[in-house]
Amino acid sequence: MLFGLKDNYSVLGAERIAVVAISTDSVDESSRFNNQWRFPFPLLSDPNLRIIDAFGSRHPNGHGIYDVAHPAMIILDPQKTIQYKKINNNADELPNTNEIISLVKNFRFQESTVPPPTSK
């Protein structure tokens, strides 16, 4: 999944979609991984699983010894409201780039068609 996002980062950027990856790896491990693969988006470190727990994606004993995050795709709008959330055991079952763009365009469309509140 990360490599698909990396490969299609310019397409996502053209759609004004920001990408962030979060893992349970330490800052040093995340840094080494990013140095190896040069992702164009931030790789955040969450070894205490605070963000991962906030989104409900903890996988207890996911590596047999310690907790990790389930592969997840969470799309937030500019107001930081969750518009889409899918947590899975298999990263291959998460949305691909075209599906992500379609999801984002759909909630942008819905947002733009909501009439403004009336004032009294």
Q: Where are the domains of the chain?
A: 2-112
Distance (Å, rounded) from C-alpha 73 to C-alpha 93?
Answer: 10
Task: Give residue-wise pLDDT tens across range 47-83.
Answer: 999 999 999 999 999 888 899 999 999 999 888 999 9
Q: How far is CA 102 from CA 19, 86, 109, in A?
A: 15, 15, 10
Domain 2-112 has CATH 3.40.30.10: yes
Q: Are the C-beta atoms of 70 and 56 separated by less than 8 Å?
A: no
Task: Give residue-wise pLDDT tens across range 21-48.
Answer: 999 999 999 999 999 999 999 999 999 9
Buried b / exposed e over 1-27, threshold 16 CB at 10 Å, is: bbeebeebbeebeeeebebebbbbbee
Q: Are the C-beta atoms of 46 and 30 separated by less than 8 Å?
A: no
Q: Are the C-beta atoms of 84 and 107 separated by less than 8 Å?
A: yes
* Residue 114 pLDDT level (bands cut at 50, 70, 90): low
Tokens, residue 72:
């997840």
